[in-house]
Amino acid sequence: MTLNRRNLLRWTGVLAPLAGGIEQLEAAERRKDQPRNIIWMVTDGMSPGVLPLTEQFSRIARGKGSVWYALGQRPETRHALMDMSSLESMVTDSSSASSSWGSGSRILNGWVNMLPDGTALTPIGVLARDTKKRVGLVTTTTVSHATPAGFAAVSKRRDDEAGIAAQYLNVCDVVLGGGTPFFDPGVRADHRDLLADYRKAGFQVALSRDELLAARDGRLLGLFSKSHLPYTIDVRNDKALTAAIPALAEMTQAALDRLASSPQGFLLQIEGGRVDHAAHNNDAAALLWEMLAFDDALAAVLRFCEKHPDTLLVITTDHGNANPGLNGTGTEYGDSNPSFQRLLQARCSYTALTPMLGSRAEYSMSGAGGEDTHSQVAANRIREAVRTAFSLDLSAAEIDAMRKIAAQGHGVSLSRQLDKIVGILGQAVGNHTGIGWTGTSHTSDFTMLLALGPGSGRFHGFMKNTDAFPILCELMDIRHRNPSMSPERLKDFPKAAAANRPQIHWA
Ligand SMILES: [Zn+2]
């Protein structure tokens, strides 16, 4: 309001002689608005319908609502919706999405902070480091995966995780997640001992949950899995995994403990990366347990923000995925609540269930009619696997659809997206839980964004993904702006757009 009035007076010329004073006033206001620390939290692949499901799931699984929902109710919390389109598509992948925040430019899906003509963009993590802020990346995926990479790396291929892992060495102070092979001289194509290089650069290296919890102050690299960290639902139902794998909240706390002492503050990205993977798999229970793990991490961050009010917190997602929702079922929709409750019965992810189903070869001998012995054996196997995993009794029709998709690999669902094992399993289980899905891939939905703390007022209403970068730069006193490319200009680089085409899916 004050600014508006001041602008109005400037237009009328009344305050023209005082213009210098006004600029000083504005500069002072800007400084007051400048956070010392910035925490950017991402649930990867969270469709708009997931947040209400998480709130309801939190109430039945934990007996209390979610931290996210409570935060959204606070009057000082800012809300925005973001258009996350990439340079080439209304539907983005995670590397293009994170790069759009990290560089301010829309790029091709599958690339990291690089324009189609090969122009390297400077990511926000590098710029933050140059202002003496410490930089942290925490994720439940491999540390070199698309979303963390978008803040701290540059690459023509997001799949070059070995190259991306090496780039963090000169940018980050805290790196926590999965992906040990990308640091291993025995696996890396260049045979570089990246772990040794991180140690030489002053990083402590933690390779288990115990080592993470015992780590001293200072730079920290934590790798807790060869690939992504296992799903929370699989960790919580396995004592060995519970002991070995840190929760996202524990990694978050470890990162905050180290970064808090940074003299010039820090930039920290925290990703709940497996929300996306569960959505690709149409696996509602795995997805909601990942959301609760993210919510626990959010609670840890909010405790930090209370002690350090000079911290800007942004919570968002990079794109929708498969758009799950609870369908109304039964008379007056009276079956919806008990159906949703059945998600609590799940004891493992679809990923953990799949080996219980056996290989396609084991199904290939079953006949089309389902009456022969091979078909009966296959049907029993499916029935028992789903009963063990989810305490659900599939109907004969659901088991038959599963048997056919297991044998054929396709040709069971009219939806091309859902015509695969996880799509059919998602529909079969969805008949009992009420959860339906639109597909198995990313979607073009606007994403939700919440912001809290100094600078949060810059995030409001409808925004473009590229709006975030200049805001973050201003809040950190960074003048650098990256070049961008228009979609029209992209036509001049057909080879670049086609380079990653053979790989159909990026998570
Ligand atoms: Zn994905």
**pLDDT in the model for residue 345:** 98
Q: Note the pTM of the prediction, 2 decimals.
A: 0.92
Q: Is 184 helix (H, G, I), strand (E, B) or coil?
A: coil
As a whole number of angstroms, the distance between CA 310 and CA 485 comes to 35
Ligand 1 mean position to 387 CA, how many Å? Answer: 28
Closest CA to 363 of 329, 404, 315: 404
DSSP 114: B
Residues (pLDDT < 70) of the chain are: 1-23, 25-31, 368, 497-507
As a whole number of angstroms, the distance between CA 473 and CA 470 comes to 5
**pLDDT in the model for residue 1:** 41
**How many CB atoms are closer than 10 A to CB 19?**
11
49: its two tokens? 């319908």
Q: For residue 494, how many C-alpha atoms fall within 13 Å in the half-sphere facing its CB?
A: 0
Domains of the chain: 32-324+441-487 (3.40.720.10), 345-436 (no CATH)
Rg of the Cα atoms in the chain: 24
Ligand 1 mean position to 160 CA, how many Å? Answer: 17
Partnered with residue 270 across adjacent β-strands are: 41, 138
Ligand 1 mean position to 289 CA, how many Å? Answer: 17
300: its two tokens? 């840890």
Closest CA to 145 of 67, 62, 227: 227
Closest CA to 305 of 268, 273, 358: 268
As a whole number of angstroms, the distance between CA 150 and CA 324 comes to 26
Ligand 1 mean position to 258 CA, how many Å? Answer: 30
Ligand 1 mean position to 211 CA, how many Å? Answer: 30
Ligand 1 mean position to 239 CA, how many Å? Answer: 28
**How many CB atoms are closer than 10 A to CB 479?**
7
Pairing of strands 461-464, 78-83: parallel
Q: Is 249:293 a contact under the CB 8 Å cutoff?
A: yes
Ligand 1 mean position to 209 CA, how many Å? Answer: 26
Ligand 1 mean position to 230 CA, how many Å? Answer: 16
Q: Is 64 helix (H, G, I), strand (E, B) or coil?
A: coil
Ligand 1 mean position to 215 CA, how many Å? Answer: 32
Closest CA to 403 of 432, 376, 378: 378
Q: Element (H or E) spanning 315, and its range?
A: strand 311-316
Ligand 1 mean position to 437 CA, how many Å? Answer: 15
Residues in the chain: 507
Ligand 1 mean position to 60 CA, how many Å? Answer: 27
Q: Is 443 helix (H, G, I), strand (E, B) or coil?
A: strand
| Cα four-point dihedral sign 319, 322, 323, 324 | negative
Around ion ligand 1, which residues have CB less than 5 A away? 45, 276, 507
| Cα four-point dihedral sign 296, 458, 507, 58 | positive
Q: Is 442:64 a contact under the CB 8 Å cutoff?
A: no
Residues 6+ apart with CB under 8 A from 127: 473, 476, 478, 480
Q: Is 318:42 a contact under the CB 8 Å cutoff?
A: yes
**pLDDT in the model for residue 434:** 98
Closest CA to 444 of 96, 89, 104: 89
Ligand 1 mean position to 277 CA, how many Å? Answer: 6
Ligand 1 mean position to 471 CA, how many Å? Answer: 26
Ligand 1 mean position to 349 CA, how many Å? Answer: 16
Ligand 1 mean position to 367 CA, how many Å? Answer: 35
**pLDDT in the model for residue 362:** 79
Strand extents, DSSP E, 179-265: 204-206, 220-223
Ligand 1 mean position to 43 CA, how many Å? Answer: 11
Report DSSP letters for 389-421, one per residue: HHS----HHHHHHHHHHHHHSSSS-SSTTT-SH
Ligand 1 mean position to 45 CA, how many Å? Answer: 6
**pLDDT in the model for residue 375:** 85
249: its two tokens? 């909240």
Ligand 1 mean position to 315 CA, how many Å? Answer: 18
As a whole number of angstroms, the distance between CA 5 and CA 17 comes to 16
Ligand 1 mean position to 140 CA, how many Å? Answer: 13
Ligand 1 mean position to 36 CA, how many Å? Answer: 32
Q: What is the dihedral of CA 215, 217, 222, 224, to 10 degrees?
A: 30
